[in-house]
Amino acid sequence: MSAIILDGSMVHYEALGRGRPIIFLHGWVGSWRYWINAMQVASTSFRAYAIDLFGFGDTVRDPNRYTPERQAELLNRFLDEMGIGKVALVGHDLGALVGFHFLRGRYESVDRMMAINVPLEYDILNARMRTAPATELAEWLTGKQPEAMTALSDASKVDPAAVTTSMSSLQADNIFSHIRGFGVPCLFVYGANNPAMTIPSAENNNLNLPMHMHQINLEGAGHFPMLDNPAQFNRLLTDFLALDSGVTPRELQLKEEWKRRVR
């Protein structure tokens, strides 16, 4: 286990590979652990980091740091302490919101971002996501599939206050309006069979997104596409990371090979 002390608090992280840095940020259920497979794939070309946010996994509990803004400060301090420059971000639900808040304050440090099943509005979340404990959500969102439950074994470590505080912040703040104009390439990925939230229509949403942003819905995937269909998710991740810096993720839809893969 790797850890770093940030402003007097222990933050747990894991790292694999060598190359350009990529940061994986987990969501409301689980910890860094469910990124292991994606980290292994990314580590062939990248130095892959996965961080436990405050109140999750093996990072300390600190109720004063549970808002997405304060979690983004964790990421900011982590990059500075580790001497990490421009990064690619991959965030899942809460992790994507944290990434957006980081982007708001330090967009020049982000080369590209993948936002997975991110609720851009509080009202699209299923009420169960707001009230049920993380261990119950893990079972519900995965259908108790053994491999997925193993990947989400740290759900029992989640501080419920870390969930409720961050969701209250989501209710009060529309972060997306602040970051859509920065020009950082961003790919929104949604599982088409996700019970946790109402999925935006990719066809309609892509008409409203700026040209440096794009949405893809993965058929057969739910709230954890990296666990539901790892091969499909990892192919998309690899293709997204392979785009030249500054290129819009809309280029992904022009690749016939990718079109065939996701059908």
Q: CB count, 10 Å around CB of 143? A: 11
Report residue 144 as tokens: 């108790």
pLDDT value of position 111 = 96
pLDDT value of position 257 = 54
Q: Beta strand pairing status for 110-116 and 87-92? A: parallel
Asked if 110 and 184 touch (Cβ cutoff 8 Å), the reply is yes
Asked if 24 and 36 touch (Cβ cutoff 8 Å), the reply is no
Q: What is the pTM of this model?
A: 0.95
Instruction: Sketch the domain layout of the chain as residue ranges.
Output: 2-262
pLDDT value of position 259 = 52
Asked if 3 and 10 touch (Cβ cutoff 8 Å), the reply is yes
pLDDT value of position 261 = 56
At the fourth CATH level, the homologous superfamily of domain 2-262 is: Alpha/Beta hydrolase fold, catalytic domain (3.40.50.1820)
What is d(CA 8, CA 10) in angstroms, rounded to the nearest whole number? 7
What is d(CA 160, CA 162) in angstroms, rounded to the nearest whole number? 5
What is d(CA 79, CA 85) in angstroms, rounded to the nearest whole number? 7
pLDDT value of position 170 = 81
Asked if 192 and 199 touch (Cβ cutoff 8 Å), the reply is yes
pLDDT value of position 32 = 97
Average pLDDT of each block of 10 consecutive residues along the chain (263 residues)?
90 96 97 97 96 98 95 96 96 97 94 95 91 96 95 97 92 80 95 93 81 93 96 96 94 63 53
